[in-house]
Amino acid sequence: MPGDCNISMRVDSALKSQAEEVLSQVGMTMSGAFTMFLKQIVRERSVPLSLSLQSSNTVYADLLEAQTERLRGYQGRDARTVLADMERVIGEVERGG
């Protein structure tokens, strides 16, 4: 039954505020984001984070690769399409899907 459990945790208040600001800009709540995170853990049977000491696996390396691809002409997806997809997925999660 969705919403039948409360989770309490301690987190830095500045970090929480910053995260809430980002989440609100994409139309999500903290609760919705954590629900998505937990559902992905269950579905994938792993933690959806890449933890590595190898520099080739860092976010910075990913950003450099994306920059190189853009310079080579890669267009990517339109931001409106990405946001529409995100809104659809968030709605599904918040409805318990």
Residues in Cβ contact with 48 at an 8 Å cutoff, skipping those fewer than 6 apart = 37, 40, 41
**If you average pLDDT over every residue of the chain, what do you get?**
85
Number of H helices, E strands in the chain: 4, 0
- CA dist 95 to 24, 34, 81, Å? 18, 14, 21
Cα 6 from Cα 89, distance rounded (Å): 22
Place of tokens 């590595």: 52
Q: Count CB-CB contacts under 10 A for residue 96.
A: 10
pLDDT tens across 11-56, in order?
999 999 999 999 999 899 999 999 999 999 998 888 877 666 666 6
Highest mean pLDDT among 17-21, 69-73, 93-97: 17-21
